[in-house]
């Protein structure tokens, strides 16, 4: 299922905001190690998704 340019731009914007928010939370607050590990994993997933959506946008 392919998205159009407008949907991709909206998705990219949401992913970027989510990524920035997660990184700020991770670096500015104390969390137990297991929570930090989960957050770091989620940040990696967001970065991969963001790259994928940006690549898809380029290929439109």
CA angle 12/16/21 to nearest 5° reads 150
Query: What's residue 1's pLDDT?
Result: 54
Q: Which residues contact 18 (CB under 8 A, 6 or more apart)?
A: 46
Checking if the pLDDT of 39 tops 80, the result is yes
CA distance 48 to 54: 10
DSSP 26-37: HHHS---HHHHH
* Model pLDDT for residues 3-38, shown as the tens digit of each residue: 789 999 999 999 999 999 999 999 999 999 999 999
């Amino acid at each position: 299922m392919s998205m159009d340019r407008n949907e991709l731009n909206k998705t990219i914007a949401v992913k970027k905001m989510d990524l920035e928010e997660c990184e700020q939370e991770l670096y500015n607050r104390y969390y137990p190690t297991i929570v930090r590990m989960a957050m770091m994993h989620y940040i990696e997933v967001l970065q991969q998704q963001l790259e994928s959506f940006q690549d898809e946008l380029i290929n439109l």
